[in-house]
Amino acid sequence: MDNDILAQLAATLEQRKQADPDSSYVASLYHKGQDTILKKVGEEATETVIASKGGKKDEIIYETADLWFHTLVMLSYHDLGPNDVLNELARRFGISGIEEKASRKSK
């Protein structure tokens, strides 16, 4: 289910780019532009932090789902998708975080 739901969601988000903003929440986000999308990502990130501090697992899951969703909208806005991020995570897998961070400074 893991990658399947991400692929399905990514496909749906792409379809919503063409939808009427009055008929779709996601289409309305795309229509309003990047600043609105980024505001939602920021709001959901804050709510995820608050949920984590509260320690209630169901709230953490719910808020993380909202954060991931709006992050996927942001990626789609830039014609990117979950596989772009998953490929980057795969590239980093097995590399020390210290080494990976150092490699970014040299670019």
Q: Which two tokens stand for residue 71?
A: 């992050």
pLDDT in tens, 25-79: 999 999 999 999 999 999 999 999 999 999 999 999 999 999 999 999 999 999 9
Residue owning tokens 């739901």: 5
pLDDT band, very low/low/confident/very high, at 102 (cuts 50, 70, 90): confident
Residue 97: the pLDDT is 67
pTM of the model as a whole: 0.85
- For residue 100, is pLDDT > 90? no
Q: How many helices (H) and strands (E) does the chain have?
A: 6, 0
How far apart (Å, rounded) are the C-alpha atoms in residues 54 and 68? 19
CB 47 within 8 A of CB 66: yes
- For residue 105, is pLDDT > 90? no
- For residue 104, is pLDDT > 80? no
